[in-house]
Structure 1
Amino acid sequence: MNTSYAIGLDIGGTHITAAVINKTEMKVIDFSLYKESFDSNLPVEQVMDIWKRVINTSIENSKVTDITGLAVCMPGPFDYEKGICWIKDQSKYEHFYGLNVRDLLLESLNLSKDFPVLFENDAVCFGKGEVFKQQENLSKKVMAVTLGTGLGACFIDKGVSISSGNSVPADGEIYNLPYNEGIAEDYVSVRGLLSHYKSLKDAELNNGLELYNLALNGDQSAVKVFETMGEDLATVVIPWLNNFSADHIIIGGKIANASELFLSSFYKTLKESGVEVQVSISTDNEIAALLGAVSFLCD
Structure 2
Amino acid sequence: MNTEYAVGLDIGGTHITAAIIDIVAMKMIDFSLHKESFDSNLPVAEVMTIWEKAIRTSIENSKVEKTTGLAVCMPGPFDYTAGVCWIKGQSKYEHFYGLNVRDLFQNKLNLSADFPILFENDAVCFGKGEVFRDSDNLSKKVMAITLGTGLGACFIDKGESISIGDLVPKDGEIYDLPYKEGIAEDYVSARGLIASYFALSGKKLNNGLELFNLAKAEDQIAMKVFEEMGEDLAAIVIPWLENFSADSFIIGGKIANASEFFLPVFIKKIKEAGSNVTVSVSTDNEIAALLGATSLLYTA
TM-score tier (shorter):
over 0.9
> What is the match of residue 273 of structure 1?
273
1:49 aligns with 2:63: no
> What is the match of residue 212 of structure 1?
212
Q: Mean alpha-carbon deviation: is it higher for 122-131 or for 207-216?
A: 207-216
Matched residue type, 1:10: D
The 8 Å contact of residues 127 and 143 in structure 1, kept in 2 or not, is answered as yes
The 8 Å contact of residues 9 and 72 in structure 1, kept in 2 or not, is answered as yes
Rounded Cα–Cα distance in structure 2 between residues aligned with 1:29 and 1:209: 29
Rounded Cα–Cα distance in structure 1 between residues aligned with 2:111 and 2:273: 52
> What is the match of residue 168 of structure 2?
168
1:223 aligns with 2:223: yes
> What is the match of residue 258 of structure 1?
258
Residue 271 of structure 1 and its aligned partner are, at CA, apart by 1.4
Residues 1-299 of structure 1: matches in 2 within 5 Å? 4-299=4-299
Residue 3 of structure 1 and its aligned partner are, at CA, apart by 6.8
Rounded Cα–Cα distance in structure 2 between residues aligned with 1:276 and 1:156: 18
Rounded Cα–Cα distance in structure 1 between residues aligned with 2:229 and 2:148: 12
Residue 297 of structure 1 and its aligned partner are, at CA, apart by 1.1
Rounded Cα–Cα distance in structure 2 between residues aligned with 1:64 and 1:222: 45
Matched residue type, 1:246: A
Rounded Cα–Cα distance in structure 2 between residues aligned with 1:221 and 1:9: 35
Rounded Cα–Cα distance in structure 2 between residues aligned with 1:255 and 1:54: 23
Per-residue CA distance 1:86-109 (angstroms, 9 max, x = gap): 001111111000000000001000
| Superposed structure 1 runs of 4+ greater than 4 Å apart | none
Q: Provide the aligned length of Structure 1 versus Structure 2.
A: 298
TM-score (structure 1 length as normaliser):
0.99
Report the RMSD for the aligned CA atoms in angstroms: 0.8
The 8 Å contact of residues 257 and 283 in structure 1, kept in 2 or not, is answered as no
Residue 219 of structure 1 and its aligned partner are, at CA, apart by 1.2
Rounded Cα–Cα distance in structure 2 between residues aligned with 1:30 and 1:191: 34
The 8 Å contact of residues 3 and 297 in structure 2, kept in 1 or not, is answered as no
Rounded Cα–Cα distance in structure 2 between residues aligned with 1:72 and 1:65: 20
Identity fraction in percent: 74
The 8 Å contact of residues 3 and 298 in structure 2, kept in 1 or not, is answered as no
Per-residue CA distance 1:152-182 (angstroms, 9 max, x = gap): 0000001000000000001100000000000
Per-residue CA distance 1:105-134 (angstroms, 9 max, x = gap): 010000001110000000000000000001
5+ residue gaps in structure 1?
none
Rounded Cα–Cα distance in structure 2 between residues aligned with 1:224 and 1:96: 35
Matched residue type, 1:104: L
5+ residue gaps in structure 2?
none
